[in-house]
Structure 1
Amino acid sequence: MVDTDEWNVVETILSNVLNENDAEKLVNALKTSVKHDFVKTLNGYANKINEPVEILLVGNDPKFMRELIATFGRSKLISSIRFTGAVEEAEKMIFQLNEYADFPIANIIIFDFPTLQGTAGLKVLENIMKKKNIIKSVPVIILTDDFEKVKHLEKYHPDLFLTKPNNLEEYKNVVETIKEFWLTYTADNK
């Protein structure tokens, strides 16, 4: 029989890939289930981890976009990232309008709020935050440098507000937070 310390090591290792709650569930399944049940549970988590996540980044800060994309590339979240600096183009991508009629619907939409220009950008963001039709279940994440500037968006119930990162460690933390959010979000909505 495996002792408690070994189970803690297994749970710690699994926590590197899964969020803490999912790692605990998987360890409990391993402790208490027959092999068939455990394999089924493990395969469910493996599918969740290995499904590519379509991410749409909207912002007009090329250095920030490059660093965020690179940080996602180093994470364990398999993702396909598209980005645009024009909120009007983002709206077309998100709602599959005009030349983007066949554009894949994003699994996550991330807005770099400080770079959105003027009232037109804010209007598009508000439109998206209302989560109409085809994007009803797509989480919207807003990165901001000042929560007071985005406080009025709370009425649309954004999925996540995060502080815009400024250094490598903060980028890692933001990507880890998004990864954990995504794994929990998909588990809760399946």
Structure 2
Amino acid sequence: MSLEEIGRAAEFLLVEDNPGDVRLTKEALTESKVKNNLNVVGDGEEAMAFLKRQGKYAEAPRPDVILLDLNLPKKNGREVLEEIKADPSLKRIPVVIITSSEAEQDVLKTYDLHVNCYVNKPVDLEQFIKVVQSIETFWLTIVKLPSEIA
């Protein structure tokens, strides 16, 4: 059953330290046809606190999809991805790397860590919005996601 069928908004967690990219992602998701909530954290340590519902994130919603930048302060995206995929309560949440890195070793390393997909951030504003909307469409209307209790 899709999120639209049960009337629940899709929950996104964006882990991004660039305010411009946060703004563009918010804009892209606001224009979306799918009802959604975007939660944003600015570094890897905050991301793990959010996902584990620690401290100020005790009431945080479980994300349906995580949009994760690789180059983050405190704990980088690879470390966050590794922790997510090693945690039985988090490992089924789809993680989409969305980064400016085109380095082949980054692509290989993240797939070795079981990322669900790797997307390069377009430099062009319109392309960036299209990419975010495509990610949302794919993960929320095409793919069947596991429920939290699965």
TM-score bracket relative to the smaller structure = 0.7 to 0.9
SS in 2 for 1:133: coil
| Structure 2: runs of 5+ lacking an equivalent | none
User: 2 CA distance for matches of 1:167 and 1:143?
Assistant: 14
> 1:93 corresponds to which residue?
50
User: For the aligned residues, what is the CA RMSD?
Assistant: 2.4
SS in 2 for 1:116: coil
Specify the code of the residue in structure 1 equivalent to 2:111.
E
1:58 to 4, 10, 15: 15
> 1:184 corresponds to which residue?
142
* Residues 147 and 96 of structure 1, relative CA distance in 2, 3 Å threshold: same
Superposition TM-score, scaled by structure 2 size: 0.81
Greater percentage in helix: 1
SS in 2 for 1:69: helix
Matches within 5 A, 1:167-182: 167-182=124-139
Specify the code of the residue in structure 1 equivalent to 2:38.
I
User: 2 CA distance for matches of 1:174 and 1:105?
Assistant: 23
Larger RCO: 1 or 2 (CA < 8 Å, sep 6+): 2
User: Is 1:123 paired with 2:79?
Assistant: yes
Over alpha carbons, which structure has the higher Rg? 1
Tell me the percent identity. Answer: 29
| Structure 1: runs of 5+ lacking an equivalent | 1-43
Per-residue deviation, residues 67-105 of structure 1 (Å, max 9, x unmatched): 111111012121100111121011010122233232111
